[in-house]
Amino acid sequence: MSTDGQLSELERVLYARQIRLPGVGESGQLKIKGAKVLLIGAGGLGSPAAMYLAAAGVGVMGIADPDKVELSNLHRQIIHGFDTQGLPKTISAAEALAEINPGLKIILHPEGLTAKNALELAERYDVVLDGADNFSTRYMAADACVLAKKPLVHGSVLRSEGQVGVFLPQAGCYRCVYPQMPNGSDVPTCAEGGVMGATCGVIGSWMASEAVAIILGQRTQSRLMVVDVAAGTSRVMQLDVAAECPACGVHPEIHSIEPAKYISGDCALSNHSMTDTPLEVSIEETARLLSSNKPPVLIDVREPKEWEICRIPSAKLIPMGEVAERLSEIPQNVPVLIHCHHGGRSLRVTQFLRSKGYNMVSNVQGGIDAWSLKIDKTVARY
C-alpha cells in the first residue's frame, strides 16, 4: 500500500468502484486513507462497522473493547469466530481486519473506554464510532466528543429495531436527545430483550457509511435515524443544539469526564425522582388498565401510515420524531402508556420521557401487534 500522499496502483484498483462515486474521486479516497477512526466496542455493531471501514480504505483504526470473545457473541459479532473464542476482542478483530485491509494501521485499546482515557482518545482520532452496549460508556463517549469537539456516530439496537445518530461538533449532541443517563437496570439489554443478528448488521453498516460521509465532508447537520427492520420502516430526525442540554447547551454542566457521573444506575447528573411506575407493562395489564375507571393516557408513537392501518381506539398519535416538540401534549401528573408496533420505538420514547421527568410513563410490551394477537383480533396486523 502507498504510504505517501498518493494512491498506489493497487489501491486504485481495490477502491475503483468507490472512487467512481460522485463526491469521492481520488481526492476523497485520499481523505478516507488519511482518516483516523476510533471504534468503541468490537461487538454486534462494531463488527460490521469496522469491517466496512477497513474495506473502504480507512488508514488508522483504534479499537477500544475490554471484553473477550464468547460463544453467545458469534450470531451477531461477525468479525469474530469459533477459533477466536477466549481471545480479547481487540486482538480477534485486528486479525480479521488485517485480512480485509493489510494497509490498515490498527491501534488496540484493550482497557476499553474509561473515564481516565475517554477525552484523550477522542482527541487523538478524527471520528468516533460508539457501538457500546451500556449507558456508562455511551454517555462517556458522547461527552468526550463534545469536549474534544469531535464528530460522534452512535449506534444502538434492541430486538429488531435500532438507531444511528450523527452528532457533529456544536450542532447537537447525544444529550440533546437523551439528557440524563437512565438507570441501567431499568432498560432491557440485548441479553434480556434479545436481538436479531442481521439488525446489528444493518445498524453497524449504516454507522460505517455515516463515518465515511463525515470524513468526506458530506454531513453538515446532526441527526438521528430510527429503523424498524421488522416493520420495514425508517425515520430521520434532524437535530440542533438544545438550549437546556447539560453537555452543549447554553449553560453546560459537563466540563470534564468525572468517573462518578458515569456510574450505571446512579447518575450524578440525574435530577428526576425515582418512581415505582414500572418501565414496561404487559399487553394484558395494558388492557386491564385501559378498561379501569381511571384509564391511563395511551400514546401511539408509530408513523401516520401505520396509524391508518390499525389503531387502539383510545390512543393519541404522536409519532416518535415529534415527541420532543409535542411534550406539552403529554401530561406529567397522570399515568401514561407508550406503544408502537412491537415495543422497540416506544421503549426508547419511554426512556426519553423519563429523562425529561415523566415519572409515570411506561412502555407497552409487544405493541399493537401483541394487542391484535392477544386482546382484540379485529385489529389488523401488518
34-262 CATH: 3.40.50.720
Q: Residue 90 — left, alpha, or beta (φ > 0 → left; ψ -120 to 50 → alpha)?
A: alpha
Percentage, residues of the chain above pLDDT 90: 73
Q: Name which of 238-242, 267-271, 290-294 the model is least confident about.
A: 267-271
Average pLDDT over residues 93-99: 95
pLDDT per residue as tens digits for the range 127-143 = 999 999 889 999 999 99
Instruction: Quote the distance between the C-alpha of residue 347 and its chain's center.
Output: 13
pLDDT per residue as tens digits for the range 218-246 = 999 999 998 888 778 888 888 889 888 99
Instruction: Specify the pLDDT at position 183.
Output: 64
Instruction: Specify the pLDDT at position 171.
Output: 94
Instruction: Specify the pLDDT at position 191.
Output: 58
- Give yes or no for residue 282 having a pLDDT over 70: yes
Instruction: Specify the pLDDT at position 193.
Output: 60
Among candidates 265, 234, 192, which has minimal Cα distance to 345? 234
- CATH number (3.40.250.10, 3.30.930.10, 3.40.220.10, 3.40.50.1100) of 280-374 reads 3.40.250.10
Residue 68 DSSP label: B
Angstrom distance (rounded) from CA 342 to CA 370? 7
Angstrom distance (rounded) from CA 162 to CA 132? 13
Backbone phi, then psi, for 337, in 5-degree steps? -115, 135
Q: Which positions are annotated as active-site residues?
A: 190, 340
List beta partners, residue 362.
337
Angstrom distance (rounded) from CA 146 to CA 17? 35
- Give yes or no for residue 185 having a pLDDT over 60: no
Instruction: Specify the pLDDT at position 284.
Output: 95
- Give yes or no for residue 8 having a pLDDT over 70: yes
Q: Are 139 and 176 in contact (CB under 8 A)?
A: no
Sheet containing 316-317: order of strands: 280-281, 361-364, 336-339, 297-300, 316-317
Among candidates 253, 237, 252, which has minimal Cα distance to 325? 237
Helix (H, G, I), strand (E, B) or coil at 78: coil
Q: Categorize the per-residue pLDDT at 3 as very low, low, confident or very high, splitting at 50, 70 and 90.
A: very low
Between 184 and 159, the higher pLDDT residue: 159
Instruction: Specify the pLDDT at position 203.
Output: 95
- Give yes or no for residue 63 having a pLDDT over 80: yes
Instruction: Specify the pLDDT at position 93.
Output: 96
pLDDT per residue as tens digits for the range 308-348 = 999 999 999 999 989 988 999 999 989 999 999 998 889 88
Average pLDDT over residues 40-47: 96
Percentage, residues of the chain above pLDDT 70: 92
DSSP codes joined into one string, 68-105: B--GGGTTT-TT--GGGTTSBHHHHHHHHHHHH-TT-E
Mean pLDDT of the chain: 90
Q: Which three cell numbers stand for residue 80?
A: 469474530
Q: Name which of 64-73, 194-203, 357-366 the model is least confident about.
A: 194-203
Instruction: Tell me the one-letter amino acid at 69.
Output: V
Instruction: Specify the pLDDT at position 187.
Output: 55
Instruction: Quote the distance between the C-alpha of residue 234 and its chain's center.
Output: 14
Helix (H, G, I), strand (E, B) or coil at 238: strand
134 to 151, 256, 277: CA distances (angstroms): 20, 20, 23
Instruction: Specify the pLDDT at position 11.
Output: 94
Instruction: Specify the pLDDT at position 302.
Output: 95
Residue 75 DSSP label: T
Instruction: Specify the pLDDT at position 98.
Output: 94
Domain residue extents for the chain: 34-262, 280-374
Instruction: Specify the pLDDT at position 4.
Output: 56
Angstrom distance (rounded) from CA 218 to CA 194? 34
